[in-house]
Amino acid sequence: MVVPTILNALIRCNSFPKKAKTPSPPPIRPLIPPEIMATDQRVEDFLGFLTTEKGASIHTVKNYAIDLREFVKFLSEKDLAEITYLDIRSFLAFLKTREYSKSSIARKLACLRSFFKYLTRENVLTQNPAAGIATPKKEKRLPEFLNPDEITKLLEAPAKVSWEEKRDKAILEMLYSSGFRVSELVGLNHDDCDLFAGWVRVRGKGKKERIVPVGQTAISCLKRYLDEKPPKEPQHAIKKPLFVSRLGGRLTDRSIRRMILKYVKRVGLGKEVSPHMLRHSFATHMLDRGADLRSVQELLGHANLSTTQIYTHVTTQRLKDAYATAHPRA
C-alpha cells in the first residue's frame, strides 16, 4: 500500500509537518502614548495593575502616568524604594511653587498614595510614605451651568439636515436629557439602548453599570439619527458604537468637545461650554424643579450623596440672590 510506505518514509526522515507554535500574547499594557510613559518598570507594572485589576479608564491611567512621570523626574536619581515622607512633601512644595491649583495637587497626591500602596502590597516598601500626608483643601467652586434659555439655543443649533447634524443634535439632547459624563456617552453601544422602554444602560466610573431614563425629545432625535445610514459603517466592531464619526469610528471625548464649541459659537452664547456643563445643567434644573437629591444622585451615578449636594448649594445661592434682589428689606 502506498499510505504505509509514505508513513514509514516520514518516520525515517522525521519530517512530519510541525504544528505551528501559537505566539504568546503580548503583555497587557495600558494604551498610553510612549512619550508619557515613565522609564521605571514598577511604574509600568502599576499602570498595568490599574488597567487589568482595577478596571480604571484609559483617561485615569493616562493621568496617573503623567503624574508619576513628573514625580520620577523630580526625584532625579533617587530610587522609588528609598522614598520617604519628606520626599513627597518636597514634591508637593515644588508643585505649589509652580502654581498648580489645590485640586491638581490633591489629585497628584491621591495618585502617589495609590502607587505607594501598590508598592507596599508588592513588598517593595514596608510602609506607604504618602499615607500620612493631608490632602490640600480644594477651593470650593460651584458648578457652572447653562440657564434654560441658553440650553434651548444650544440644543436647537444643529440644523438637522445632514447626517452629521442629526447625530450632533442627538448627542446634545442625550447629554442634557440624562446627565451623562462624556466618557459614558462615547462608550455607548447600540445594544445599550432600549428606545421603546426609554432607557439606556451606562457604564460609569469603575465600570459600574446603571440604567438611566431618556426623555422623549432625546429618543426622537436618536431615532432620526439612527434611521439614516452613516457615510461609512463601523468596521469589524465586536460592539457596535452608538455614535460614530464620518469614517465609522467611535467618537472620542475630544471630538464631542469640539462639536459643542462649534455650536456654542454658532448661537453666540459668549462663554466656554464643556460637555460636563450640560451634566451640571441637567442636575441643577432637576433640583430646581423639585427632584429629590437621592434620585439625582442615582441618575448621575455618584457614589456618595455629598458629591451631589454641591448642586443644592447652586440652587440655594440662586434663591439667596433672588431674595437679595427682590425683597425690599433684604
Q: What are phi and psi of 290, to 5 degrees?
A: 95, 5
Residue 316 in any domain: the answer is no
Q: What is the DSSP letter of 207?
A: G
Q: What are phi and psi of 201, to 5 degrees?
A: -90, 125
313 is catalytic: no
181 is catalytic: yes
* Same domain, residue pair 174 and 111: no
**314 or 176, which is more confident:** 176
Q: What span, in angstroms and rounded, lies between the C-alpha atoms of 327 and 323?
A: 5
| Number of other CB atoms surrounding residue 192 within 10 Å | 20
Span 1-24, pLDDT tens digits: 444 444 344 344 444 444 444 444
Q: What span, in angstroms and rounded, lies between the C-alpha atoms of 286 and 180?
A: 14
- Bridge partners (DSSP) of residue 202 are 210
Helix or strand holding residue 200 (H, E): strand 199-203
Q: What is the pLDDT of residue 157?
A: 96
CB contact at 8 A, 128 and 112: no
* Domain stop point among 229, 251, 277: 277
| Mean local confidence (pLDDT), 104-126 | 91
Q: What is the CATH number of the domain that holds 160?
A: 1.10.443.10
205 is catalytic: yes
User: How many domains is the chain built from?
Assistant: 2
Residue 63 in any domain: the answer is yes
Out of 113, 166, 169, 181, the active site residue is 181
Domain that holds residue 268: 148-277
Q: What is the CATH number of the domain that holds 72?
A: 1.10.150.130
Residue 310 in any domain: the answer is no
257 is catalytic: no
Residue 106 in any domain: the answer is yes
Span 71-96, pLDDT tens digits: 988 988 788 878 888 999 999 999 99
Q: What span, in angstroms and rounded, lies between the C-alpha atoms of 188 and 251?
A: 10
Out of 205, 210, 257, 318, the active site residue is 205
Out of 108, 167, 169, 279, the active site residue is 279
* Domain stop point among 253, 277, 301: 277
CB contact at 8 A, 284 and 210: no
311 is catalytic: yes
Residues sharing a CB contact under 8 Å with residue 43, sequence separation 6 or more, in sequence order? 37, 65, 68, 69, 72, 80, 115
* Distance set, CA 293 to CA 96, 147, 151, 319 (Å): 36, 20, 22, 17
280 is catalytic: no
